[in-house]
């Protein structure tokens, strides 16, 4: 009898131990999922924040200019790594800036993100669509701006 009770108490202890290990395993798996999800959210918010800052920088430069040509010159000064400038006509232009994973300007071959700025001009209304896309062509952020340019006469430019 004594041996049976020891065997029963040992098997009961083993069952409790197995259930405790199972409980802690499930709990740790859920916690790891929470940590992974929070890391991904943090990374995505950092990318979005960088994209918003870069779009706002381009928009400020464009809003301070009086024409597309003036904007492209200002952009070339601010972003010497401005990789491409395509001008369809005097009333439209497109500029691209390429960024790596840390949002530092880089070459097109090494880029992870592309900022595309489409500028249009109609009379005194200057409009822009500034967009940051990831390497998989998903849009990270898009900013639309418009403002009226104060046209200066030749006398005021001097």
At 105-121, the pLDDT tens digits run 888 888 899 999 888 88
Give the whole-angstrom CA distance, residue 117 versus residue 112.
Answer: 17
Confidence check: pLDDT of 91 > 80: no
Highest mean pLDDT among 23-37, 81-95, 106-120: 23-37
Q: What is the pLDDT of residue 155?
A: 42
pLDDT, tens digit (0-9, with 9 covering 90-100), for 50-72: 999 999 999 998 888 887 888 88
CB 122 within 8 Å of CB 91: yes
Q: What is the separation of C-alpha 39 from the centre of its chain, rounded to a whole number of angstroms?
A: 15
CB 76 within 8 A of CB 65: no
Instruction: Tell me what pLDDT residue 121 has.
Output: 83
CB atoms within 10 A of CB 61: 20
Q: Write the pLDDT tens digit of every residue in 32-45.
A: 999 999 999 999 99
Q: How far is the C-alpha of 75 from the C-alpha of 53, rounded, in Å?
A: 15
Per-residue pLDDT for 129 more than 70?
A: yes
pLDDT band (50, 70, 90) for residue 1: very low
Listed in order, strand segments (DSSP E) in 33-152 are 84-89, 92-99, 113-122, 125-134, 139-148
> How high is the pLDDT of residue 151?
58
Residues forming beta bridges with residue 99, ordered by sequence position: 105, 113
pLDDT value at residue 158 = 46
85 or 65: which carries more pLDDT confidence? 65
């Amino acid at each position: 009898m004594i041996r049976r009770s020891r065997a029963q108490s040992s098997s009961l202890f083993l069952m409790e131990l197995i259930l405790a290990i199972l409980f802690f395993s499930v709990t740790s798996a859920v916690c790891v999922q929470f940590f992974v999800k929070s890391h991904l959210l943090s990374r995505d918010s950092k990318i979005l924040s960088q994209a918003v800052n870069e779009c706002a920088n381009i928009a400020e430069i464009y809003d301070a200019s009086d024409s597309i040509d003036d904007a492209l010159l200002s952009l070339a000064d601010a972003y010497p790594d401005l990789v491409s400038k395509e001008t369809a006509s005097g009333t439209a232009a497109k500029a691209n800036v390429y960024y790596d994973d840390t949002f530092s300007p880089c070459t097109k071959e090494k880029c992870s993100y592309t900022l595309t700025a489409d500028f249009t001009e109609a009379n005194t209304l200057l409009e822009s669509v500034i967009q940051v896309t990831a390497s998989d062509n998903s849009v990270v952020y898009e900013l639309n701006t418009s403002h009226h340019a104060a046209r200066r006469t030749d006398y005021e430019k001097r």
